[in-house]
Amino acid sequence: MSLVADTSVPASPSTWAGQLAESLRGVFLHRRWITFLVIGVVWQVTAMIANIGLFPTPATVIAVSWQYVITGLFFSELGISMIRIILGFSAALLLGTIVGILMGSWRFWDEFFQDFVILGLSMPALIYALLCVMVFGLGLTAPVMAIILGAYPFVAVNIREGVKSIDKELLDMSHVYAVDRWRLVRQLILPSLLPFILAAIRVGFTVAWKISVLTEVFGGDSGIGYQIRVDFASFKMRGVLAWGILFGMVMLTIEYGLLLPAERHFARWRAKVKEVI
């Protein structure tokens, strides 16, 4: 009688189908849905207690939102707003990165730009929106300039802190061993700055969204902010809330579908802190 070892490999749950199922399970069974459920219940109860036509129920707002989606109005206005946001934030990211590198590298530039950056951080977004509409009028220039003025300080602060956090001993050692500049940038400077760059993108992009909508509300002839103003002028609370919900859904989609996966991918080499205290 002979014993034969079973060398067959059991089916691994890490196949593409298993990974897809696990991802979907993580999305639909995540604890964050409890938050939305609580908000929906409180909203419904408040609407029932108020019992006035001004404050719509969640079902009414969702129905209006769906109407905006299926008619294509939402996507057309979103496309217009996205063009303005991408143009403005790209310029703000470039300007903020340059200013942040200068501030983090040289004391003269740090003192030179410090007050401008602090004022930029503390200035309400409403001021940028109103000033740019008054100066540039309707059209593309006003929201783009407002986004640049409002978003670049957040980028600059993050980049400056990233530059200051680069390990000086590693830089000195690289100079001692005559490491070429491109290798130094690629293997030391960029990995050190990457978490700060990603943080700057996430914060700055959120600020850009808000400023763009504000500018469109006060001086736009198209875009999501303009549609909010139209519904507000007609005193349509359900329309204003519908645009707000659609706006939030787009932001969550960008956050969880693009920015967060990018951060996990590029910062995968960093050790994860599970517990601070």
**Position 43: which residue type?**
W
Place of tokens 């404050």: 55
Q: Is the dihedral of CA 41, 42, 48, 51 positive or negative?
A: negative
Which residues 6+ apart lie within 8 Å of 156 measured at CB? 95, 96, 97, 99, 100, 103, 113, 117
Q: Is the pLDDT of residue 2 over 60?
A: no
Provide the greatest CA pair distance for the chain: 94
Q: What is the pLDDT confidence band of residue 172, given thresholds at 50, 70 and 90?
A: low
Closest by CA to 238, choosing from 52, 78, 39, 80, is 52
The domain segmentation of the chain, as residue ranges, is: 87-266
Q: Which of 2-6, 10-14, 56-60, 157-161 has the highest mean pLDDT?
A: 157-161
Q: Tens of pLDDT along 72-124?
A: 888 888 888 889 999 999 999 999 999 998 888 888 888 898 888 888 888 88
C-alpha R_g of the chain: 25
pLDDT greater at residue 174 or residue 77 = 77
Does the domain formed by 87-266 have CATH 3.40.50.1370?
Answer: no
The alpha carbon of 137 is separated from its chain's Cα centroid by a whole number of angstroms, namely 27
Q: How far apart are the first and last CA of the chain?
A: 60
